Amino acid sequence: MNLRNKIIIHNDFDFIQEKLTSEFGIKNLKFFIPKNPDVELRLNDLTYDKNSQATAKAIMKESYIAEANAKIIVIMAKSFRDEAQNFLLKLFEEPPKNVYFIIVAPSKNVFLPTVLSRFIIEKYKIQKERMILNLNLQKMDLASILNFLKKYENIDKNECLDLLDALSYECFKQDIKLKDDEIEFFYKAYELVKLNAKPSILLSTIALMLYERKNENL
């Protein structure tokens, strides 16, 4: 086995768990998948209940046990707060013989540079299904715009990016002819969402833009 400490970027933990099991064998793997990593991956923090830190203690105990054969400790979490990463850094400093770490997360942006510098990064291509919109742009009226905005008023950044992608695809699919400046606004909106712009404002602008485009085409 070619073993090295690494970070795997993927959002489907079940898929990665099956892949690692197939590659290394279940006997060589120790999986830790905390439901609340921001709490469970902290150690000796008096602001938290000691029972909630059982995962961190179990990982530390497992990592300090040297093995005759390779042992891979796999930690999967959607997020890693700085305190959790500082705990992990202590484990990575001097691991016992034949002990390796694989960290799985949906994005490398959740990690501190000091953590990233200690690992190989493996990013798997994630095939995402396009969001399906039950929205007829050719017959859109003000009532449907209000329903659309209400439906998506509380979406997060990633959901908004998916929604913008779906909207642009529906424009093409439903033969909505956009002007150059309107196409440019789609690109700008996408970049603004990445910078944490408020989705509701951008979606309102795009919805009204598409409404006006529909009326001009009548």
- The pLDDT mean for the chain works out to 84
Q: Is 117 exposed, middle or buried (0-12, 13-18, 19+ CB in 10 A)?
A: exposed
Q: Tell me how long the chain is.
A: 218
Going by C-alpha positions, the residue among 87, 77, 88 that lies closest to residue 110 is: 77
Confidence of residue 47 (pLDDT cuts 50, 70, 90): very low
pLDDT computed for residue 208 by the predictor: 92
Q: CA separation (Å) from 30 to 21, 62, 66, 136? A: 10, 8, 13, 50
What's the pTM?
A: 0.55
pLDDT computed for residue 167 by the predictor: 92
List the beta bridge partners of residue 189.
none
Cα(40)–Cα(38) distance, integer angstroms: 6
